[in-house]
Amino acid sequence: MISKLQVNGNEAVALAALSMDLDYFSHYPGSPVNFVEPAIRKFAVQFGKEIIFNNALNEHIATLAAGGAAFAGAKSMVVMKHVGMNIAVDPLTYLAYTGVKGAMVVIVGTDPGANASTGEADVHWYARMMNLPLLEPVTVAEIYRLCREAFLLSEQYELPVLLFIPTRLAYDSETIGFNIETGARLRTFEFIKDKNRYINVGQRNIRNHNHLIEKRNAIAENAAAFIKSFGNENAETAIITRGLTFTQSFETLQTLGGMNRFHLINIDLVFPLPALQLSQILKNKKEIVVIEDQDGFLEENLKMQLYNEGLCEISGKKFFPESGEIGYAQVFGFLSEKMGVEPLPVIVPEIQDVIPERLGTFCEGCPHRAVFFVLDKILKDIPGIIGGDIGCSSLPPFRADWLMCMNAGIGISQGIAQLPTPQVVFSTGGDGSFFHAGLLSLQSAVMNRINLIHLVLDNMSVAMTGHQESPSSKKGFDPKKLLKALGVNKVYSIKATDIKKLEKALRKEVGKTGVRVFWINGSCSRLENKTRDLKVKYLDPKIYHEKCGECRICFDEFACPAILDNKGDLQIDLNTCMRCGVCKELCPANAIKASAWQSFIKIYEKPQS
C-alpha cells in the first residue's frame, strides 16, 4: 500500500532504506546527511523494523563495518559527507574488488558551494577511480526511487553503490509516496569464506580488478532506464544535466516555452555512463551542452567515452563555473539567452553592495568562547599560534589560525611544533574530532616526542551535526586514564568556565616539553541541562554601570552575543543569556553580577554533567 508523507532528502533516504529491508546502518555524522540516522531510527520504530546501528567514530570505520555486514549477507548502508569520503575511499576501493554478498549502499552528502562545509571538493572522481556505480537523484521523490534502485543494483552486481545528495537536495522537502511493509523480517547472516574473493594481493587483486571492470561494463550496457528525456528529441541542441541543474533547466524551459526547441536529458546513473544509448540519442545533435556544478565530471566522462562516436562538440564548463553552486539564476540566464529572451530586470539595481556572509560564532553560553578568550589573552603576551580543527570548536572561523579538515588541530600543530620556532603552539579540537582520528594523532605526537600543548574542548557531544554521542558523553569516561595510557606527559582536566585556573595552567606549560593535554569540560549550551535551566529562570545578571570601567572586554574580546551595545551602554540580553557566568569572571571591575548568584550556587550547583 502506497502511503504519502512530506519528507526531506534525509528522510527520503531513510524511507527507501527501510522499504528495501535494510539490516545494518553505519555512519559518521556530517552535514547535509546528518539527519539520515535519526530518521531511520524514527521510522524503524514506526514500522516495527529491527536495524543494527553502528555510530562509528569515523568514516573509515563506518565503511568497513558496513562492508563487513554486507560480506555476511546483510543489506547495509553507510552515510557520510563528501569530505568523509576522502577517508572512506581506502576501504571502499577494496570493497569494490571483493564485492559484497548482501547489498551495500553508500550515501554521500556533497556540498557544491560549501554551504555546510569547509570545502566543496568534487568527490565524483572517486567513482571513476573505484569503478563503482554512482547515482544522482534530482528531487526528493527521486532520492527515494534511486536509493531503492541502488540496493537493487548492489544486490544484482554484488557491488557497493554510491548515491550522492547535494546540500540543497538534502534539505529539500516534498510529499512522496512510499511503501514499507510493517514488521521485521527474521534473518540470520553468515560470512562464507572465499579466499579468492577476499584475499587481495598480487595477481589475485588483478583478477578481482578485471572482474570489477566486467561488472562496470555490464552496468553501463544495461543502464538505459537511468536516462530521462524531455522536450524535443529531434532538436539540434541537447541540454544534459545531472543533479539539481535538471529541475532548474526543466522549469526554465517549460516556463519560457522552450521545450520544443531543446532536447533535455538527465542522467541518473552518472557513472558508468550508458555510453551506447547516449551515442544513439546524441548522434544528430549540432550542439551539446552539459549543465552541472563542480569540476565537470559528467562532461569529461561524456567526452572521454563518446570521443570516437562522431558527435559534435560537447561543452559545459565553457559556460558554467567550476566553483560554487550553480544557481537557478545562472541556468535561467543561460537558457533564456539561448532562446533570445530579454534578460530579467534587476530589482533595486542601486543596491550594489554584496551583503557580507554572517560568520559563525559561538552560541551564548558556549564553553568554547571562554577557552578562546583565554588563549587570545595569553597570545597578547607571547608569540604563538592557535591550531584549529572543525566543528563547533572552530566557530567563529577567525579565532584559530587555520580551518581545514578534521584533526587539522593536532595534525598541523605537531608539524609546526616539531620545528625550531619561538612560537608556542596551542592546538585545539573538539571531542568529536579527538575520537575521529585525533587520538591517533596525539599518540603519534607522543611517539615522536613533540613538544605540544593540545586542548580537547569537550562539550560532551558531536555538537554541530546534531549532538550525536561521543565516547566522552558516557558517564564514567576518564580522559586522564586514556591519555596517560597513550603516554601523554601531563593531563589537566579543567572546567571551561574556570578561566582563571585555565589561564594559570596554560601559562605554566608554555616553554615546557612533551605532549600536554588540557581536557576542557563544558557542556554544550544547546544541550538540556537542569542546572542551567534553573539559572536561566532565577538569575538576572546585570552590568552595573557605576562600577563598569568601560574597558569593553566583555563586548569586544569575549564577544558574547548576549551582551549588547545599547547606544554605548552595554547590557545583558536576558532572553538569550545562558547564565554561564564567564563574563562575571573576566570583568576586571567586578561590574557584572546576578541577583541571588552566590546563594543560588551554594544551593543548586552540581558538577557539570
Residues near another protein (CB under 8 A): 6, 8, 31, 115-117, 138-139, 141, 167-168, 171-175, 230, 244, 246-248, 250-252, 254-256, 327-329, 332-333, 344-348, 350-351, 353, 355-361, 363-364, 392, 395-396, 398, 463-464, 526, 555-557, 559, 561, 575-576
All three cell numbers of 145, joined, read: 526511487
Closest separation in Å from C-beta 173 to another protein: 5
Name the DSSP letter for residue 58.
Answer: S
Q: Closer to another protein at the Cβ: 8 or 433? A: 8
All three cell numbers of 50, joined, read: 529491527
User: Is residue 410 within 8 Å of 418, Cβ to Cβ?
Assistant: no
Q: Closer to another protein at the Cβ: 396 or 487? A: 396
Smallest CA-to-CA distance from 51 within 79, 18, 81 is with 18
Q: Closer to another protein at the Cβ: 231 or 274? A: 231
| Cα(489)–Cα(486) distance, integer angstroms | 9
Closest separation in Å from C-beta 209 to another protein: 39
Closest separation in Å from C-beta 65 to another protein: 26
Q: Closer to another protein at the Cβ: 46 or 217? A: 46
Q: Closer to another protein at the Cβ: 253 or 488? A: 253
Closest separation in Å from C-beta 178 to another protein: 15
Closest separation in Å from C-beta 393 to another protein: 11
User: Is residue 176 within 8 Å of 7, Cβ to Cβ?
Assistant: yes
Distance of CA 245 to the CA centre of its chain: 22
Distance of CA 262 to the CA centre of its chain: 37
| Cα(270)–Cα(86) distance, integer angstroms | 19
Smallest CA-to-CA distance from 159 within 201, 226, 105, 204 is with 105
Q: Closer to another protein at the Cβ: 266 or 451? A: 266
Closest separation in Å from C-beta 3 to another protein: 14
Q: Closer to another protein at the Cβ: 231 or 479? A: 231
Q: How far is CA 134 from CA 72, 97, 120, 153, 228, in A?
A: 23, 16, 18, 11, 16
All three cell numbers of 259, joined, read: 521545450
Torsion 202-207-213-215 (CA) sign: negative
User: Is residue 587 within 8 Å of 554, Cβ to Cβ?
Assistant: yes
Q: Closer to another protein at the Cβ: 398 or 544? A: 398
User: Is residue 456 within 8 Å of 471, Cβ to Cβ?
Assistant: no
* Residues, the chain: 609
Closest separation in Å from C-beta 492 to another protein: 27
All three cell numbers of 84, joined, read: 568523509
Q: Closer to another protein at the Cβ: 16 or 127? A: 16
User: Is residue 466 within 8 Å of 38, Cβ to Cβ?
Assistant: yes
Closest separation in Å from C-beta 411 to another protein: 20
| Cα(15)–Cα(180) distance, integer angstroms | 8
Closest separation in Å from C-beta 559 to another protein: 5
